[in-house]
Every structure is written in structure tokens, then in C-alpha cells.
Amino acid sequence: MKPSSYIHSLSRIADTDGADPMAPCPDEVEAVIAALENNAEFMRIVRENPAPVRGIGITKYLEYRLYVPDCFIPVHLLGIDALPPQRIFDIGTGFGYFPYICESYDHEVLCMDLDTVPLYNASVAALGLDRRTHRIERFQPLPDIGRFDLITAFSVCFNRHNYPDVWGRDEWWYFLRNLVNDHLTPHGRIFMRLNPEVSDGAYGVEGLKDFFLSLDARITGMNVDFPDLSRIREIIRQEKSIASPTA
């Protein structure tokens, strides 16, 4: 089966903004798969871990022929394959295929994650990714990591996904303001794919989707894309002028 054919079997494509699921070019996909298969440490991890059950648990990512094509979907959606070298910050990296593909296009990626999952630790190391260990907490700024052209977060869990205290508007505003103020370049972009909450199969907090829309997010399914941050910057300016009117 061609890699692009695998994509049709993945439910995650339902959230990809109408992207053509055939878009990933098999040559690009095959080049990444070939690089993985030439990576002795990566293949050792694949060999020595329990055989994955399709789509279940963390070991599912060992099926690289299934998940690498999946990660090409946002690569194409965001034009990562066509952009000049960018600084990308990937939050909650997990196994690491997405940043690995980004690096294959000469982008520089900083990853951030917990270090609590040994399989993620091993794969990220085998893929040679630069990962900073940090736990994102509500109303806490990120550490000093510099500025990025693109900030991504896929299958977001740092928002207390599926906990009763899942983030609402205030937590998200604090987080987005921190990203825009301190971690994005002037024309930067934020792209997140939230996990549907069990409480409602969607955003989990009433009004949260409308809040993102009010900040000029483009929303498709659980994708929350901020291609233009002018509205957020404008609100930040207004907040500052209210806090110190004479400044």
C-alpha cells in the first residue's frame, strides 16, 4: 500500500481544514521513511518494543508507515514544505515525527514535553530532536526559549485535557498572550489541534470556541489556527494602556 493510501484510514484527517488527503507526495513520505529505516537506533526501538496494536496506546506510533504520512498533513497545510528555514516551536511533542519532518525541510525546531514517557524519550533522542523538558501549567509563563516563526501543538493535553479543570477562556488568554508577547516573531503563527473533551466531544468549555473565533482563529474541527495575530496584539495593547494609561 502506498503511504498516501494509509492516510485514508486515519480519523485525524477529519480535522484538517479540507486538506486533500492525497496531498503528501509519496516521494517526500518515502524519503522520511527511508531516513527512519536507516536510523539504527530508531529501528532498534521499533524492533525491541511490543508490537503495536493499531491505533491503541503510545506504542501505536511505532507503526511509522502509518503515522509519518499523517504528520505530512499539517506540514502541507501550513506550507512547511515550501517555506524558507523557519524557527518552529512544537509543544507536547510526543513521539516526534512532526518536528523530524520539519527538520528534513531545514527548519529549526525546538520541542517541549514532559519526560514521563520512556518511549517518547527514546524516540525523540533517536530522531536527534532538541527537546526541552517543561510542564506547562495554567497562568505560568513559558521559560525563556526565544522567539519562533511558528508555534505548533498537536493533540493538546497540557490544557488539562479530560480533567474537570480543563482550561477555559482565562487560561487560554494567559497562554496565548504569553506566546504572542514573548515567543513569536512579528509575523508568527500559532497552530493547535485540541483533543476533543469527553464531556462534550468538543472544546469542553462553553463559549471557548467563540472565544477563539473572537481572536480571529480559523477553526476546523479541533484545529485552532491563528494565521494572523493582529487581533490578539491589539487586545494586548488595549490591556496595557488600561493598566498604565500614561505609559
Ligand X SMILES: C[S@@+](CC[C@H](N)C(=O)[O-])C[C@H]1O[C@@H](n2cnc3c(N)ncnc32)[C@H](O)[C@@H]1O
Which parts of this chain interact with ligand X (CB under 6 A)?
92-95, 113-114, 117, 120, 135-136, 154-155, 157-158
Residue placing its CB nearer to ligand X in the complex, 57 or 85: 57
Residue placing its CB nearer to ligand X in the complex, 44 or 135: 135
Rounded to the nearest whole angstrom, what is the least distance from the CB of residue 117 to ligand X in the complex?
Answer: 6
Q: How many CB atoms lie within 10 A of CB 12?
A: 17
Rounded to the nearest whole angstrom, what is the least distance from the CB of residue 10 to ligand X in the complex?
Answer: 12
Round to whole Å and give the CA distance between 222 and 212. 11
Rounded to the nearest whole angstrom, what is the least distance from the CB of residue 246 to ligand X in the complex?
Answer: 38
Rounded to the nearest whole angstrom, what is the least distance from the CB of residue 36 to ligand X in the complex?
Answer: 15
Residue placing its CB nearer to ligand X in the complex, 195 or 233: 195
Rounded to the nearest whole angstrom, what is the least distance from the CB of residue 182 to ligand X in the complex?
Answer: 17
DSSP code string of 11-68: GGGGGSTT--TT-S-HHHHHHHHHHHHT-HHHHHHHHHSPPPPTT-SGGGGG-HHHHH
Angle between helix 230-243 and helix 169-182 axes, rounded to 10 deg: 100
Q: Return the exposure string of 25-34: e unless at least 16 CB atoms fall within 10 Å of the residue's CB, then b.
A: eeebbbebbe
**Host H or E run for residue 110:** strand 108-113
